[in-house]
Every structure is written in C-alpha cells, then in structure tokens.
Structure 1
Amino acid sequence: MTTAPDRVVVVVVGAGHAGATLVALLRQRGYRGEIVLLGSETDHPYQRPPLSKAFMAGDLEQWLRPAEFYREQGIDIRLGEHVVSLDRAARQVRTASGDALGYDVLVLATGARPRQLPLPGADLDGVITLRTLADARVLRKYLLDGRGLVVIGGGYVGLEVAAVARAHGVEVTVVEREPRVLARTASARFAEFLADRHRARGTRIVTGAHLLRFSGRDGRVDGVELGDGTRVGCAAVLVGVGAAPRDELAAAAGLACDQGILVDTSARTGDPSVLAIGDATRRPVTGADGTVRLESIPSATEQAGQACAAILGTAPPPPEVPWFWSDQFDLKLKIAGLVDDGREVVLRGDPAAGRFALFHHEDQVVTAVESVGAPAEFAAGRKFIATRRRIDPLRLADAGTRLSDTVLN
C-alpha cells in the first residue's frame, strides 16, 4: 500500500485475537491515523485458549488489553456491532445498526464459526458449541453439578474440554466418527498416546461411532443415541466437530475465497485496499504445498504482524513455521509443522515418562514435530523445519546426543 500511513483510515472487522493484536501493533509501531475496531461480541477482546483449557476456573475473562487501553490509544472500538455488507467500490462497510463506515484500508478478521450437527434434538438446551466467552460460561454452568458430559468430536478442543471436565470429577464420553481421535491433526502414534492418557484418567472414548440424535426431556438434553443402538446419558453435550471460516462477507463482495479468504504472505487479498487475517483466511505457510487454513493463536499473531507491515509500508516479517499448543491434564503439548502420517518418524524421549518428541521427516528433512513435555526438542524441531537442514535419524533418536549434533549439513 502506498498511501501515507498517518492519513489512512483503518477499519478492522473482527475483535478476536487477530484483529485486537493488529490494532495494538499499529499503535506500538507509530501509526497515528484513525482506527475503528468492530466486534460482534459484547465482551472486550479476550484470550481464547482458556475457553477450552480452563473453562471451569474462575478466571475465564482474561482480556487481551485493559478496556482503557483502547481509549488511551485512540482506538474506536465498537462492540456488539455486526457488519452486514462490504462495498469495495465505495470503500465502505455497513453495519446491522445502519451505520456506513468509510475506509482507506479494511482488514477482515472475521474468524470462524463452530460447525453444527443438523440432527434431531440439536436445539435442546445443553447442546453446546464452544467458540466464545459466552459459550464457555454456559458450558461451565451446565457442568458445575458434576454430572455427565458427552463430547462429540475427538479433536484438540474436545480433548481439552474432556481433560478439564475429568479433573473436576465430571463423567466424560468422547464420541468420534473416525477410527481414532485427532485423525486429521495428529499422527496415529501421538493420538494413541493421548487417548491412553485420557482413558487412564477415566475418559470413555468411543471411536468409529455414528451419531443418530440427541435425546432430551422437558427441552433439556439428557443423552445421545448412536447408530449401534448405544445410548449415552449426560447433562450436557459439547459439539466439537470443527469450525467453518466466516468468509461470506468477503465472498459476497467478490473477493477470492476457497474455504477461507485467500491471502498472500502479506495478508493481502486481491483488492489492494482489503487485507484479511486470522481463522477466516487461507494462505501459503512454511512447509505446505498450496494454501492452508490455520486456526491458532500463533497464526493469528503472525498475520497481524504481516498486515501491520503492509499498512505501514515496512518490510514484511519473515514467515514462521506454523505451530500451536494444547494443555491436557498435566501434559504440555506443542506441535510444529504439518503432520503427515505417510512420513518417517523418529522418537526421542520416553512416552511412558510423559516427556518425548516425534520428529516427522522426509529424506532426513524434518517436516513436523509433535512434543510432550519436551521444550528443547520442540524448539529444535521448529528450527529444523525452518532451515530444512538434514538430520541423522539415529543420532536424533538418541536422547544422549545433543540436538545440535544431529544436524548433518
């Protein structure tokens, strides 16, 4: 973008982690022009990880910045404001309340919405999805009595919720349609380790399951029914079957979308006045062919930095290796790169002790690392992926060999 930064009006649609991080970065890096931040939720921007990792605790409301930050920094934050249309020719967005806001630069940080299951009983009280602070409050309310929870979907969020619920004495059943948990996001070996840990803590895991309906009484869910005739009773159901990008605003305005708003490594869309960041986007990432849609705090933060540089006309930040983390029971999980079960794997460490890493490699070039309680291995894995330097698998498997000594070139 070639406009003078201090005279640019920046409108950011979406006050999640990506949007809130961007507006803070703009001020930190000297931008003095007008910033409008539009959020459809009524809460100030907040940390998302506690929603699944600590929803039973009393500190759900972990704000990204104090409320007064936005006032002090001259950021016009408008909460409970939903954008309904985008006019690219007029450089204007219109809100549900009827306001029309002009922009020089528009940043779409619209996020993603949880996928629903269109099954009988899906509208019963106690059938919950988890995406917002309000959702987490509802989930906590239903589980405070310690009665049973069914989690539909064995992804990371579902397993995090299951771990928290079990730690608070709630009976938990995870229902997964695939043959194993984490079928789309983790290796079979890593998934098996986590499933075993969950079962050891009392989580019931049902795989290869077909969900027929939610059952209820007096408008409140009391169980789920499976295709094999099994019925699992519960007080609440968490539907955790993934999320869909909120890209309809962009698509309606004629921006290129393909299961997410398509952007480049500078967060640019095909319109030079419109950027997009966060869970709503699909983009090139290190180690992947084509484009990928990532849902993680590190990805949102990285793209906020890219968009900030594009707006200010500064050099873009170097691309990062995609990564994310998960907390389950006493396990600290960190994963980097894109896991592909078809690649060779090196185990370093001891799964029985809960401290190990799985290094995925192709022709001795590391492409992903899955780690548990192994921060040094995780950090080395990210570096190996970024530099594409070849490693010696035998040395890497030997925990007595320094990680730096496993590199061949």
Structure 2
Amino acid sequence: MGVMNELIDPPRIEALTRILAESAPAVQWAQTAAAGSLLGDLNLRARTDLVAEALVADICTSPVPGYTTASVSFRAALSVPEFTGWVLWPVSEAAVTLALAAGATEDFDDCLALLAELTPRLTGEFAVRRLLARDPDRALAAIQIWTANCDEHVRRLASEGTRPYLPWAVRVPALVQRPEATLPILTALYRDPSEYVRRSVANHLNDLARHAPSAVVATAGQWLSAPDGNTAWVVRHGLRTLVKKGHPGALALLGFMPASVAVSGPRLDQEILSVPGELTFAFEIANTGTEDVRLAVDYLVHYRKANGSQSAKVFKISTLTLAPGESRSLSKRHAFRQMTTRVHHPGLHALELQINGAVHGRTEFLLEMA
C-alpha cells in the first residue's frame, strides 16, 4: 500500500489548496493547507479522513458555514481541469459530512448530484455509501436516474457505489439485507455500451450472489432472455462465484447440466511438497452418456488452517465439450508460496476435482515448510 498512500501527498494537497483558494476565495483554506505536513506514514484511507476533516473545518469557520458553501466551492473548482485525481476523495467525503450534518433533504439530494458531477474526475463510490446508509430509499431513487446519464462514469457509479461488498468501502447494511433493492439498477445497465460499466454490473451481481443466489440466478436468466452481444460475458462473470460453488441453477443457466462422466484421478506428481513449490496433477474425463456434454472443470484445494482444520478454495481448469464416448486427459500445476493473502501451514492437505458442480477423486498430500 506504500505507493497507494502517495496518491494523496503534500504536493497534491498544496495543489488542491491553491485551486480552492482561487475558486472559492471567501473561505480561508488554512487547515487544508496544513494537512499536507501531517500525513506522516498514514495510509490512504487515513490521509483521506485527515484532509476531509481539514476541509470541513475550513468550511465551518467560513463566513457562511455549512454544506451550501461546500457545494458552491467544489462546483467552482470543477472549472479547473487540475481539480482531479485522488485528492477528490476527501473532497467528496467532506461534502457528504456537511450534507448529513445539515440534515435537510435538499442538501442530501444536492450532495448526490454533486457526487455525480465530481465522479468523472474521481469516482464517488466511497463517499456515496454514507448517503445510502442514512436514507437508502431516497439515495437509490436518485441513483436509478444515473443509469441513463450520458457519462459512463456516472452510470458506473450507479452500479459500483451500490455494491454490497465494495472493496475499501464502508458496509451499508440495507444493501445486504435487501438484495432486490439494487437489481433494477443492474437491469438498466447490463447492456450498457461501456465495458467499464458492464464490468461493474458483473462484479455487483457476483457480490449479490454471496447472500442472494436465487435472486441472482433469476435476474441473470431474465437478462439472457433479452441479450445483446455482451450479455453472455456479463452473466458468466456475474455468476463466477456460484459456478465455483457448484450452484445447480447457475451452472444450468450457463449450459452446464448434470452429466454422466467417468473420472480417473487426480494423480499427484508427489505426496510430500515443500513450500515454496508446485504440485502437478493429472486426470482423465470420459463422457459415458448418450449426448454431448458441456463441462465446467474446476479443482478444490483443501488448505490446512492454523487450528488443524481445512478450508477449501476452488480454482478453474477449463470448460470443454465431450461427445458420447469421448475422453480427455488434462493436467494442471498449482503453486504453493507464502503470500500476504494466504499463509500456508504444514500438514495434511487435499485436492479434489469438481465437474459441473459434482466433486470427484479426493487425494491427500503433505505440505512441509522448507
């Protein structure tokens, strides 16, 4: 995160202060200017909060304190092309803080509009979360309108800002508890001309799959009944977690029906593996049915946890179609290296194949630390 932290650094805060001083001279931006010397080794989120607090403090000590001054000041700064980049994250957070403090519906609505104006310079997906948390119905009604905006950044904000599990962002309970609330937004955008927007729609659908799989499969089915040239990709990407979990409805929607297959393996190239290292395994699949079958071929690694239990993670191998009586030999290498996202523990592990959601051929191996 070191490089990410520097996205908000003293020179950028100095430039932000200069732009605001020129665009909104009625406010003395002294605390914002001073924030640049206080960053130290703070991470990006903490730097954002520090600068946002400074912006709020300067506006609250201005001749006309409150959200209206923030709205006027930040909109004036938008006339400057250099008013862009990651320093707009604290700007958007400061605007939301002041709008929520005001408590007026007109300020709430205007702040949503302001985020839509700022988001082409830097996404407002993080700041909009607090507005959604305060009044989800009011916020979602405005956000639904964004789906028809001519700017792809605003349309993406409609999908990305309302994701239930948006990375880096605060959780909005209503978005988890009411999965149906954001489906109209996604349905308005799944055929969007922008890949930037469609990718967000697919990631949002995949988020919903964590707690509302039935609604996700039903929605994806509706989209496939009225597709364009990109819909198949959006659905595949949106259902990727359900496919890994072997969800029957998701698999069927993508053409992976229960299949009559014979599986031989997996055969491991070693039974004891040292970290770092690679495990190679091979297997065969034969279609024992009377019709062509389309297969989603994955594998599960059952990792040993620190407490001695095991936790499985699914990895993709391939998709293939086999004619009746046809067989295919496949192999795969899997690396075991210590990473910040996965710490390996010595002891018994296992590997299984997963074909159209059905698990085959559990094989165990021992992992040792080099």
TM-score of the two chains, using structure 1 as the length reference = 0.25
Instruction: Please say which structure displays the higher CA radius of gyration.
Output: 2
- Relative contact order: is structure 1 or structure 2 higher (C-alpha 8 Å, sep ≥ 6)? 1
TM-score of the two chains, using structure 2 as the length reference = 0.27
Of Structure 1 and Structure 2, the greater strand share is in: 1
